[in-house]
Amino acid sequence: MTHHTHSDHSSPAIVTRGLTRHFTSRKQTVEAVQGLDLEIGQGELVAFLGPNGAGKSTTLRMLTTLIPPTSGTASVAGHDVVTGQKDVRRAIGFVGQGNGAGHRQLGRDELISQGRAYGLSHAESRERAAQLIEDLDLTAVADRKVSSLSGGQRRRLDIAMGLVHVPRVLFLDEPSTGLDPQNRANLQELVRRLHADSGSTVVLTTHYLEEADALADRVIVVDHGRMIADDSAARLKSGLGDLVRLGYDDPSSAARAAARLGRVPESRVDVDGDAVSLRVKDGSRMVGELLADLTADGVPPTRVEVARPTLDDVFLDLTGRSLRETQQAPSPDTDSTEINNEVAA
Ligand SMILES: Nc1ncnc2c1ncn2[C@@H]1O[C@H](COP(=O)(O)OP(=O)(O)OP(=O)(O)O)[C@@H](O)[C@H]1O
């Protein structure tokens, strides 16, 4: 696993040590988060990426003090999530998967009440609400009932709610789930802009590879409650090498080419019928040389394709499973009893 280093800012925004959360339901124990050791610096934009049930939301719920850890510790903005619960809550914004806004209220009023709940004066709350409405493109809908908003508008209002008190750390739990591609792109742009303008730390969870890739400076890949990778998307992918696919007219030529390619250093060669694939560092640059060698050996391919690795390739390489496939499977836990131990926010 590669580790991220932070050169700027003195104290980290988030530190966890052995952070663990178990759930017991029907005498079965689910180890949702297992011994997470993590450090996130101030001003970072970090995505937790992993399949359903990987433990992303549970991690976020511990960091936002909604549920206590089973063991281990976590501090956010310098405060322990258990002993400094109140201080943590004042320092953070949290946009959950569900949302807190009452449906019958007007968006603007929701924002103002939220500001009041965080101790802003009425005038401050009004001013802050007006600013957020403008920043989040909610002008046209702020004076409508929340229940009448579209999914994308609703999501933007949720984010505004999380930002009312100018949090130092903003947590977004699957912010773009349920949005269409256009709204998802808008939301990503918005998060990027908010992060750039405010300099606050942003931590989000997602199971969209593209989202983690496009949005986050740092991607923490989680699976079965454990962190399995932690780096920039670019570095995670470049560690894997490009995929070069060579097509032949018959399997025997493919086999001969594969035998030849087996001698390329630091490459992984697979033969599938009349196609050979090769994972190799800097594939797009090496492909010319490869073709020249194969031609010299009398096995020039008839088709060539070079693909840059995706984060799904990274996940596949780390776990042997495709993140896309894991999305298709229904959650195995849908019938388990939800343990009601959340602390009311
Ligand atoms: N309150 C609870 N009671 C029992 N089990 C729970 C509870 N909350 C979470 N779990 C279990 O813990 C595991 C991790 O769940 P979690 O919601 O953290 O995953 P996730 O990575 O956020 O997934 P998703 O992408 O579906 O939101 C799952 O097996 C889930 O069923």
Cα angle, residue 6 at apex, residues 3 and 170 outer, rounded to 5°: 95
Confidence of residue 120 (pLDDT cuts 50, 70, 90): confident
Q: What are phi and psi of 275, to 5 degrees?
A: -120, 145
pLDDT digit string, tens, across residues 187-201 = 888 888 888 888 889
- Report the pLDDT averaged over residues 168-191: 85
Compute, in angstroms, the gap from residue 29 CA to the centroid of ligand 1. Answer: 12
List all residues 6 or more positions away from 219 whose beta carbon is below 8 Å from its beta carbon: 46, 47, 49, 212, 213, 229, 230, 231, 232, 233, 236, 311
The pLDDT of residue 100: 53
Q: Is 171 helix (H, G, I), strand (E, B) or coil?
A: strand
Residues of the chain with CATH 3.40.50.300: 14-237
pLDDT digit string, tens, across residues 39-53 = 999 999 999 999 888
Q: Give the whole-number percent of the chain exceeding pLDDT 90.
A: 43
Which of 304, 302, 254, 261 minimizes the C-alpha distance to 280?
261
Compute, in angstroms, the gap from residue 7 CA to the centroid of ligand 1. Answer: 34
Q: Give the whole-number percent of the chain exceeding pLDDT 70.
A: 89
Strand partners, 14: 40, 76
Asked if this assembly's ipTM is beyond 0.90, the reply is yes
Pocket, ligand 1, Cβ cutoff 6 A: 23, 25, 30, 32, 50, 52-58, 207, 333, 336, 338-339
DSSP 275: E
Does the pLDDT at position 114 exceed 60? yes
Radius of gyration of the chain (CA): 24
- Report the pLDDT averaged over residues 93-121: 80
Cα angle, residue 145 at apex, residues 172 and 103 outer, rounded to 5°: 60
Compute, in angstroms, the gap from residue 82 CA to the centroid of ligand 1. Answer: 20
Compute, in angstroms, the gap from residue 190 CA to the centroid of ligand 1. Answer: 27
- Report the pLDDT averaged over residues 178-182: 79
Does the pLDDT at position 342 exceed 70? no
Q: Is 220 helix (H, G, I), strand (E, B) or coil?
A: strand
For the chain, the average pLDDT equals 85
pLDDT digit string, tens, across residues 192-238 = 888 888 888 999 998 888 889 888 999 999 999 999 999 998 888 88
Distance (Å, rounded) from C-alpha 246 to C-alpha 276? 5
DSSP string, 16-73: EEEEEEEEEETTEEEEEEEEEEEEE-TT-EEEEE--TTSSHHHHHHHHTTSS--SEEE
Residues of the chain with CATH 3.30.70.790: 241-308
CATH number for domain 241-308, candidates 3.30.70.790, 1.10.3720.10, 3.40.50.720, 2.40.30.10: 3.30.70.790
CATH number for domain 14-237, candidates 3.30.565.10, 3.40.50.300, 3.30.300.30, 2.40.37.10: 3.40.50.300
Confidence of residue 312 (pLDDT cuts 50, 70, 90): confident
The pLDDT of residue 152: 81
Distance (Å, rounded) from C-alpha 141 to C-alpha 146? 9
- Report the pLDDT averaged over residues 50-58: 92
Does the pLDDT at position 307 exceed 50? yes
Which of 30, 97, 172, 203 to probe ligand 1 with, by most ligand atoms within 8 A of CB? 30
User: Which residue minimizes the CA distance to atom 5 of ligand 1?
Assistant: 23
